[in-house]
Structure 1
Amino acid sequence: MQHEYRKIVTIQAEQFDGSIEMMQEYGIKADPEAAYFAGFPLYTIPTNEGNMGLHEGDWIATGIDGEHWAIADDIFRRTYEEVDNG
């Protein structure tokens, strides 16, 4: 029988803007071959499970152990809401 669960931790996240600074901070690499075939830049970000595709406008999430992963903008906006920590 399936049960319903809710995450009980918060994450840190920022929207990827394609800047060199963000690429250096997160170890993001550009994939020029994907850009040629897809017609737009595709980047990869290293995660605990291996390299993950990332596009400009996607969100980079940082988990409780400092791990990073990409979340598409539409999924992020439907799944997360900003928390006021003040």
Structure 2
Amino acid sequence: MRAQKKPVVIEYVEFRGFVNGNSSFSERPEWLLKAIYDDDNIRFFDEKDTLTIETLEGTMTANVGDYIIKGVHGEFYPCKPDIFKQTYDLLD
């Protein structure tokens, strides 16, 4: 038997590390700020230039260049650039 994955639209940002002590992302949408400052789902500074993200599968780490994805149920998770480019087509 075979199946095809349904198309799903996600929101994402690229983590660019820390510049002058501040986190750097490709952009700062409201959902990212809420996840960082209100919900504590994304934390900084556990290690240099990394983010710690609480996912549905447990705690994961994002490195510089990784994409932070907001899933269809509002969950967050990191994705390596090569996997992101193989999995998603950009809409904007």
TM-score (norm 1): 0.69
2:43 to 28, 44, 49: 28
Higher helix share: 1
Q: Which amino acid aligns with 1:77?
A: K
Displacement of 1:73: 0.8
Mapped contact 2:42–2:51 kept (Cα < 8 A): no
Q: Does 1:3 align with 2:24?
A: no
Which residue type is aligned with residue 54 of structure 2?
P
Equivalence map 1:1-86=2 (5 Å): 2-18=1-17, 19=23, 24=36, 27-32=42-47, 41-84=49-92
- Structure (1 or 2) with the greater strand fraction: 2
Q: Distance in 2 between matches of 1:55 and 1:83?
A: 24
Amino acid of the structure 2 residue aligned with 1:83: L
Gaps of 5+ in 1: 36-40
Letter in 2 for 1:9: V
For structure 2, the residue ranges without an aligned partner over 5 or more in a row are 18-22
Amino acid at match of 1:56: V
- Normalising by structure 2, report the TM-score: 0.65
